[in-house]
Structure 1
Amino acid sequence: INDLFRKYGKRVGKQKSIPLNAARERKLKKLIKNPPSHLHDRKVLNMETIDGIKLDLADDDWFLLRFSGTEPLIRCYAESGSKKEVEKLMGFGLELIS
């Protein structure tokens, strides 16, 4: 596995579940219809709105918001090359529905 880390680098992921309320539901639906061009100071390189909204950023980083299919929750996911950066992405992304 260390050979794979050396070849491809390490990735850090984080997931958080946020209780769904009417305001958050409206904000997420609006984001899906009108995706942002930036996530804070990071330019969005690509967007997918198939299952929520996924924002692809530079350095293979990304952030995803989606409705849970089984519970009244919004699922939030982020992935980056460092723990510090993934925490920043999660914070910036959660601001979108706060």
Structure 2
Amino acid sequence: MKIGIIGSGEIGGSLARRLSKLGHQVSIANSRGPGSLADLAAETGARAVTVHEAARSGEIVFVAIPAFKIADLPKDLFDEVDADVAVVE
């Protein structure tokens, strides 16, 4: 399954580790950009992407950021995302 993760802290990182280990294709993003995720990507096999790419790269998208940071996400983040994509917050 293709899975997008927005957030690379304790929860997002743990999801990336576990889901990658289970064989899923994981794309992960954070507010600092793909370059800051090189170590996590190398460790997990996840693909480091932008937040827009993470939102559009999965059949499921996990938003694993603190609730007060959700307002800081781009307003168009889920534009053009298929209606069948499950978003888990």
Q: TM-score, normalised by structure 1?
A: 0.27
Which structure would you say has the larger Rg?
1
Q: TM-score, normalised by structure 2?
A: 0.29
| Larger strand percent | 1
